Amino acid sequence: MSTAARLKRWLPLALLGSVIAGSFAFGLNDYLNLETLRENRAALKALVETHATVAIIGFVLVYAVVVATSLPGATVMTLAGGFLFGTWLGSVLNVVGATAGATLLFLVARSAVGDGLRARAGPFVKRMEEGFRRDAFNYLLFLRLVPVFPFWVVNLVPAFLGMRLIPYVIATLIGIIPGGVVYTAFGAGLGDLFDAGAEANLKDVFTPTIILALVGLGVLALVPIAVRRWRERTRPPVDTV
C-alpha cells in the first residue's frame, strides 16, 4: 500500500481520535448531564433567544461531535434539543445532528478498519456481509427504530458489513425520527420539572405503549424482507429446456 493510500485510510481515524482525546481533555463529557441544563438554564435560554442562528448551528455541531466520538451524552443532547428549541424545531435539529455524527463515524470506520476487518474475519463474516448487504436498508431501519441496541454499535456494524453510504444515511435519518421525537418532547417539558424541583427520570421517557409502537414499526421494516424471501421460496423453478 502506498503512502498516499495509507494516509487516506488512516487520517480520518487519527483526526477522530484527536477529537475524542480533546473532548475528554476539556471535560466535554462532564457537561453532558441534566444538572448542567438545570444550572445553566437561564444562560442557555438567553443565548437561544439573542443568537438563535449561532445557537442552532453550534448545537447541531456539538451533537454531531458527541455522536461521532461515541461520548456517553447523546441522550442528554436530545433532551437538550427539546429543552432549548421546543419539540418540533428541537426534533429537526436532533435528527440532523445525530445523522451527521453517525454518518461521520460510519465513514471513518469504513475507510480505516472496515476493509481490514472483513479481510481477516473469514468466510462466516463474508456470508453475513452478503446477507446484510442484500437487505441492508431494512435491517438498519429495524435497528434504528427499536430502542434496544446501543446507538454507537448500530453506527459501526453497517460499516464493517459493507453497507453503501446513501442507504445508510436515509435509513438512519428515517429510523431515528420516532424515538428522537419522543425524547425531544420529554426534553421540552424539562423546564416544568425544574420549576417543580423534581428529578427527571429517563426511565419515564419510554412507556410500555411507546416501546410497543416502536417495536411494531421495527417489525414493519422487516416485512419486505420476509415477503421477498417467501416469494423466492414459493417461486416455481424456471424450465431451462
- The tens-digit pLDDT sequence of the chain (241 residues) is 566 555 555 555 566 666 666 666 656 666 678 888 888 888 999 999 999 999 999 999 999 988 988 877 888 899 999 999 999 999 999 999 999 999 988 888 887 655 554 554 445 455 556 667 788 899 899 989 987 778 888 888 888 787 889 999 999 999 999 999 999 998 898 888 777 776 766 666 767 777 788 888 888 888 888 887 777 777 666 555 4
* pTM score above 0.85: no
Contact 204, 118 (CB under 8 A): no
The C-alpha atoms of residue 90 and residue 83 are separated, in whole angstroms, by 8
Closest CA to 59 of 72, 175, 51: 51
* pLDDT value at residue 124: 45
Domain ranges of the chain: 3-233
Least Cα distance to 85 among 64, 119, 124, 59 occurs for 59
